[in-house]
């Protein structure tokens, strides 16, 4: 199983698939946003402090750096 790359190093704009969430505590919270394993999304921009704005399921969601570090994705 492809462990994928850290979201922090994923390129902007390219379609991605979420393959893993490290911290189980955040897994549920992210799932309610539509960010669950296998979900398709894209990174739009970097924000101050190392966060990201991602586009998933029609919604734009800003994530902070600690969350971004938890996520692993691979190119879709």
Partner 1 sequence: MSGPLHLVLAEITAGTPTLAEIARRTGLTDDVVHAAVDHLVRAGRVTSTELSLGCPTGGCGTCPSSDGCSLPAALGARRPGLVSLSLATRVA
Partner 2 sequence: MTDSTRVRLSLAPTVIPPMSAKACCHTVADQTAGTTEPVVALVGAPNTGKSTLFNGLTGSRVTMGNWPGTTVEVSRGVWRTTLESPTCHCEDCSCADAESPLAITLLDLPGAYSLDAHSPDEQLTRGLLQDGTADERPDLCVVTVDASRLAHGLYLVSQIRELPLRVVVAVTMSDVAAQRGVSVDTVLLSQALGCPVVATDPRRRTGLAALATAVRTTLTDPAPAPRSVPASDDTLVIDDDRFTWLSAAAAQATVVPGHDRLTLSDKVDRWVTAPVAGPLIFLAVMWAVFQVTTTVAAPLQDALDRFFSGPVSHAVVSLLTLAHLNGSWVEGLLVNGLVAGVGMLLTFVPLMALMFVLLALLEDSGYLARAAVVTDRLMRTMGLPGRAFLPLVVGFGCNVPAISATRILPDARQRLLTVLLVPFTSCSARLTVFVMLGSVFFGANAGTAVFGMYVSSVALVVLVGLLLRRTLWRTMGAEPLIIDLPAYHVPTLRLTAAVVWQRLRGFLKTASGIIVITVCAVWVLQAIPTTGGEGFGHVPVENSVYGVVARSISPAFAPAGFDQWQTASALIVGFVAKEAVISSWAQTYATEQPQPGQAGLLGDHIQAAFQQSSGGHPLPAVLAFMVFLLAYTPCVATLAAQRREVGLRWTLFGVGMQLVTAWLLAVAVFQVGRLFW
Positions touching partner 1 (CB under 8 A) are 32-34, 59
Taking CB under 8 A as the criterion, the residue among 5, 17, 61, 74 binding partner 2 is: 61
Site string for partner 2, 6-35 (x = CB under 8 A): ---------x----------x--x---x--
Instruction: Compute the least distance from the CB of residue 31 to partner 1, in Å.
Output: 9
Contacts with 55 (C-beta within 8 Å, 6 or more apart), sequence order: 41, 42, 43, 44
CA distances (Å), 25 to each of 12, 22, 39, in order? 26, 9, 18
> Does 5 help bind partner 2 (rule: CB under 8 A)?
no
């Amino acid at each position: 199983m492809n462990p994928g790359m850290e979201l922090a190093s994923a390129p902007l704009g390219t379609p991605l698939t979420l393959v893993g969430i490290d911290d189980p505590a955040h897994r549920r919270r992210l799932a309610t946003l539509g960010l669950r394993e296998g979900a398709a999304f894209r990174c739009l921009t970097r924000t101050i402090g190392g966060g990201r704005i991602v586009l998933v399921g029609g919604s734009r969601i800003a994530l902070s750096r600690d969350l971004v570090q938890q996520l692993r994705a691979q190119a879709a």
